[in-house]
Amino acid sequence: MKFIIQRDKLIASVQDVMKAISTRTAIPILTGMKIEAKDHGIKLTGSDSDISIESYIPAESDGMVHVEEIEEGSIVLQARYFPDIVRKLPEKTVEIEADSNLKVTIRSGKAEFNLNGQDAEEYPQLPKLQTDDSFELQTDLLKNLIKQTVFAISTMETRPILTGVNLKLEGKQLKFTATDSHRLASREIPVKEANIEFSSIVVPGKSLNELYKILDDTDEPIEISVTNNQILFRTKHLYFLSRLLDGTYPETSRLIPDQSKTVLYVNTKDLLNTIDRASLLAKEDRNNVVRLTTKDGQTVEITSNSPEVGRATEEISAKSIEGEELKISFSSKYMLDALKAIEYDEVKIEFTGAMRPFIIRPVNNDSILQLILPVRTY
């Protein structure tokens, strides 16, 4: 195997593939990165058996040559050393050559490294998913769906199913839902060209976080395919495969109240900044609790109180307040996460009492929903 490749292209692919490689794996060869050279380009593969990532560098695209002098072959290189070597090479091109004894030479300018490789035949084959059952989204829209939900997953392994995001695709509507049982985040979008339906799959939050980091903010399509235990995300040069979580995701629709006693319309940024300031004095408390009180007129008071530290009070003007007066306490962290995920200027918050879950939505958009359980403070 031999090829000469543009270093920046190689670095970008190596960084993507590294996100799937773990030192803590039961299969030793998976601590390495597989490199395959074919006439038309170079493919890098990394896997920890939960997530597998393939990144493809075409020999040329858009009239630009990325890889030349290709002699076909494949090798597995130690992922502990290879990325750092590539990153620190002196020139813009890199020559990589492997001989029949699995010895690999990496050259760039006057620098030369010799590494011991492993036989690529021993690297596990990635499952090839049937891509007939698939649907497409714009990449930036998928990133938005992840960003607006994945933060609400549970980080506790006591209920593993809650460490993932629940996906449903029914009636050409795709819904993402995440909950840690103290809060919930969901977003729903129409999918026109879907020739597939599924009532409930759960994708590990870790997988979605890594996918989010790899994907570019473009409106290019990403193809999504689902089988009984895996999900595949595929773009022109990337193949991201994740296992699904086993188990039944809780029925979350019954958590969402269908009526409200107090409705608050308020500027998202004003509320976010006010709660952020109040939370500065709530750090002593495990939940960083702040209290919201509606006042006469259109005023909302946000307070936090730590007996050992002190007290913060701030009033903000709401666009309008409808219904009963309200005093409610909640985790400032949960509220800040929810408000940051809603990328709209104004939010509508619907309360059904001081001890009931409340809902935050953008004004005039029901497709994004954040739900938070209040905190008992007495």
| CATH class of the domain whose range is 2-122 | alpha beta
User: Rounded to two decimals, what is the model's pTM?
Assistant: 0.92
- φ and ψ of 299, to 5 deg: -110, 140
| 134-253 and 256-372 in the same fold | no
What is the pLDDT at residue 52? 95
290 CB neighbour count, 10 Å cutoff? 30
66 CB neighbour count, 10 Å cutoff? 19
What is the pLDDT at residue 84? 95
- φ and ψ of 163, to 5 deg: -85, 5
Kindly report, residue by residue over 301-353, the tens digit of the pLDDT.
Answer: 999 988 888 899 999 999 999 999 999 999 999 999 999 999 899 999 999 98
pLDDT of 94 above 70: yes
The single residue listed with the structure tokens 């999900």 is 231
Kindly report, residue by residue over 204-254, the tens digit of the pLDDT.
Answer: 999 999 999 999 999 899 999 998 789 999 999 999 999 999 999 999 988
CA 232 to chain centre: 14
pLDDT of 129 above 80: no
Q: Length of the chain in residues, anyone?
A: 378
- φ and ψ of 203, to 5 deg: -100, 130
Residue 54 CB contacts under 8 Å (≥ 6 apart), including other chains = 17, 43, 44, 45, 126, 238, 239
What is the pLDDT at residue 285? 63
Domain ranges of the chain: 2-122, 134-253, 256-372
Please give the mean pLDDT across all residues of the chain: 93
What percent of the chain clears pLDDT 70, i.e. is strictly above it? 98
pLDDT of 130 above 70: no
What is the pLDDT at residue 284? 65
**Is domain 134-253 classified as CATH 2.40.50.140?**
no
Kindly report, residue by residue over 7-27, the tens digit of the pLDDT.
Answer: 999 999 999 999 999 888 888
Architecture, CATH, for domain 256-372: Box (3.70)
| Of 84, 19, 100, 86, residue with least CA distance to 54 | 19
Burial of 246 (0-12, 13-18, 19+ CB in 10 A): exposed
Secondary structure (DSSP) of 68-118: EEEE-EEEEEETTTHHHHHHH-SSSEEEEEE-TTSEEEEEETTEEEEEE-B
| Of 360, 344, 374, 366, residue with least CA distance to 269 | 344
33 in Cβ contact with 17 (< 8 Å): yes
Q: Kindly state the average pLDDT of the residues 26-40.
A: 94
